[in-house]
Amino acid sequence: MYVGRTQHPIAYLVLSLVSCLRAEAQNYLVDLGPGTGVAINNSGQVALENSFYSNGTLTPLPSGMTAAGINNNGAVVGTIITQGSTPCGPPVQLQSVVNVYCAIAVYSDGQLTQYPVNNPDAPDPAANWGSGINDSGTVVGVGAASPPTTPLERWLIWGVPPGLFSWGVCCGNMVWPLAINDAGQILVNLPETASVPGALVVTSLTGSPSGLVATSISLPLVQGYAINANGSVAGYTTITTGTSANTVTQQLGAIAVAGDGGYTPYASAPTITALYGLNDDNFGVGDGPVTVNGTSLMHAFLCSCESDGFSDLNSLIAPTDPLQPYVTLVHGVGINDSGLVLANGVDSRTGVQHAYLLQVPLVQVGPCCDVYNLPNTAVGKVSAPQSATFTNRGLISIALGAVSTSANFPVQSNTCTGSLAPGATCAVSITFGPTEAGTTTGQLTLLVAGFPLNVPESGIGAPFKVSLHTSATSVSVGTPFTLTWTASPGTTCKTYGGAVAYGDPPDGWSGPLPSTGMMTIMEKETNTYTFGVTCSASLNLVQAAYVAVIVTQPAPSSGGGGALDWVSELLLFALLVRRVGRRERVGWNRGLQATGHRT
């Protein structure tokens, strides 16, 4: 059972690939008559706020009844006036209940049954609303005293007609049960608080008929609006960005997917602010703001929310449909397992309430969670490819068109061509080549049956680094030293500083450089030289590194005891020894006369 509720005046029905419409009517709006859409089942039957649509016939609900949900057997649940003429309205108005007397109502096979439920602990008469019904006929609802108590208290109502209904304060007062699935799981909302998750799934109810005790699981959603057969829930969450002094809170449509480890949240694309319907394949429908000709408007959206695929439902109306220029779908309300979508909208010519059928494709994007969330990649480099799969969840083949993508996310391979058979899967693989540091976002678009299916792209360009080192920070004139530098691959580098910057004789440090290398420098003048390497990866991304080298004159000799003098004395001594040896060989060591000479 797929339930959605809305306060908006116009209803349209969006019919997916499974349809009894003629082939030529695919993607065309079909007028179903006036009404505000509330919920849809797997047979394509629709509960409108005050009427029931089935097999092409729109039947008014009994006087005073307001619908809230429908099961797959066509039973409509809601509320009906039991005293006076004040409309009961939807349960959300319970905060302001005054002299409203209502009973739970079930309308099935043309028969109406009322189930008044009075809480003996609250003043009578009570105001009771039916809000959900599953295929077994189990009903959930909400009750409050009328006039309201202070503080206002609401209680959960549960039961299987025509048996006795039970009531109880579940999970705190102000509880609002919305829907129940065939597993008996009940979706419950607590008071809406943007900073605190308020959605619960009640898994069991025990206790006496007049005092229920609930076992529940808290969901990672601020509010929930629909629960599917698997226990997954559609609603919305919030994210906060910015600094502590300037925070920004953004509301995003989201689903909480049930699994063995509990519930995992998946936020929709930022375009969607809330999801009101969810089928068993976790396709959701909701709404969000768009800008049209400079004006912000609400549009209805279809979301494959586990993988961020989404489409504006208005883009799925055939351009040749005569109603396409006038009808705007503004609020997605419900979706069944065949892709039949219920949405609310407006006709710009009249503003008259209507319901419409429209056939659209259902393509699921995967794999879950990390579609086109590419890895961090160095600026100037290209990431490894990443693939997303597209699966036809409908029952007929879908024609596939062109694939387009944003800059920095080129398509590497694409098997999504021709047509996609029911249950078949194709894949598009992209890479990420950042040109600057930081987060880069984009969007891949695949034409499905002539209409765009959008998948967000995201990647982070890793900032590049530049380093420069010298083999010596102080040398003498004429003494060589080595500069070594490295930068991220793909960058463009050049020199800075060196002898040229000081007007000294060139030392070779000038002009462009490779991203990695080394160079031997020898200066001819004394100075303190600054050497730099400046590298860039784009016009707006530049990094640099610097070192300083002091060049001095050689130290003068000291005249005694120095290393140079010692060496000189050693050489003179060796020469003297050599000469003495020569004297011995020629007889200079023999005795001499008082006067004479010897050669």
| 437 located within any domain | yes
What pLDDT score was predicted for residue 67?
93
How many Cβ atoms are within 10 Å of 467's Cβ, its own excluded?
13
Task: Using the 3D structure, point to which of 462, 497, 531 is the last residue of a domain.
Answer: 462
| 440 located within any domain | yes
| 592 located within any domain | no
Q: Are residues 73 and 197 in the same domain?
A: yes
**CATH label of the domain that carries residue 10:** 2.130.10
Q: Are residues 424 and 533 in the same domain?
A: no
HEC string for 6-44? CCCCCEEEEEECCCCCCHHHCCCCEEEECCCEEEECCCC
What pLDDT score was predicted for residue 278?
93
| 516 located within any domain | yes
558 vs 442, more confident: 442
| 594 located within any domain | no
DSSP states along 404-455: E--TT--EEEE---SEE-TT-EEEEEE----SSSEEEEEEEEEEETTEEEEE
pLDDT at 175 over 80: no
Task: Using the 3D structure, point to which of 360, 386, 401 is the last residue of a domain.
Answer: 360
Listed residue (386, 328, 397, 383) closest to 356, CA to CA: 328
pLDDT at 11 over 60: no
Q: Are residues 304 and 400 in the same domain?
A: no
Listed residue (227, 151, 142, 158) closest to 190, CA to CA: 142
Task: Using the 3D structure, point to which of 331, 360, 389 is the last residue of a domain.
Answer: 360
Does residue 146 contact residue 99 with C-beta atoms inside 8 Å? yes
What pLDDT score was predicted for residue 56?
84
What pLDDT score was predicted for residue 358?
76
Q: Are residues 207 and 144 in the same domain?
A: yes
DSSP assignment, residue 55?
T
Q: Are residues 455 and 512 in the same domain?
A: no
Q: What distance in Å separates the CA atoms of residue 544 and residue 326, rounded to the nearest whole number?
A: 58
Residue 373 belongs to domain spanning = 366-462
pLDDT digits (tens, 9 = 90+) for 474-522: 999 999 999 999 987 667 889 989 888 778 778 889 889 998 899 999 9
pLDDT at 166 over 70: no
Mean pLDDT of 557-565: 51
Listed residue (170, 166, 156, 162) closest to 208, CA to CA: 166
338 vs 2, more confident: 338
Q: Are residues 117 and 245 in the same domain?
A: yes
| 597 located within any domain | no
What pLDDT score was predicted for residue 529?
92
**CATH label of the domain that carries residue 427:** 2.60.40.10
| Structural element, H or E, at residue 242 | strand 233-243
What mean pLDDT is reported for the chain? 77
Peptide bond connecting 9 to the previous residue in cis, omega within 30 degrees of 0: no
| 599 located within any domain | no
Q: 293-302, 382-391, 530-539: which has the minimum mean pLDDT?
A: 530-539
What pLDDT score was predicted for residue 23?
27
Q: Write the burial class of residue 512 (CB in 10 Å: 0-12 exposed, 13-18 middle, 19+ buried).
A: exposed
DSSP assignment, residue 193?
B
pLDDT digits (tens, 9 = 90+) for 183-217: 999 998 887 654 556 888 888 877 765 566 778 88
Q: Are residues 14 and 102 in the same domain?
A: yes
| Structural element, H or E, at residue 568 | helix 563-585
| 524 located within any domain | yes
Q: 17-31, 422-436, 488-502: which has the minimum mean pLDDT?
A: 17-31
Q: Are residues 113 and 143 in the same domain?
A: yes
pLDDT digits (tens, 9 = 90+) for 233-268: 999 988 877 666 677 788 888 888 887 667 877 777
- Cβ neighbors of 597 (< 8 A, separation 6 or more) are none
pLDDT digits (tens, 9 = 90+) for 574-598: 554 454 444 444 444 444 454 555 5
- Cβ neighbors of 22 (< 8 A, separation 6 or more) are none
What's the number of domains the chain is made of?
4
Q: Are residues 334 and 383 in the same domain?
A: no
Q: In the chain, what is the straight-line distance between the N-terminal and C-terminal CA atoms, in Å? A: 134
Q: Are residues 432 and 542 in the same domain?
A: no
Q: Are residues 450 and 528 in the same domain?
A: no
CA distances from 5 to 48, 89, 344, 546 (A): 10, 12, 10, 65
Q: What distance in Å separates the CA atoms of residue 178 and residue 180, rounded to the nearest whole number?
A: 7
Place of tokens 């005790």: 213
pLDDT at 368 over 50: no
Q: For the whole model, what pTM was predicted?
A: 0.65
Q: Are residues 474 and 457 in the same domain?
A: no
Distance of CA 553 to the CA centre of its chain: 64
Q: Write the burial class of residue 389 (CB in 10 Å: 0-12 exposed, 13-18 middle, 19+ buried).
A: middle
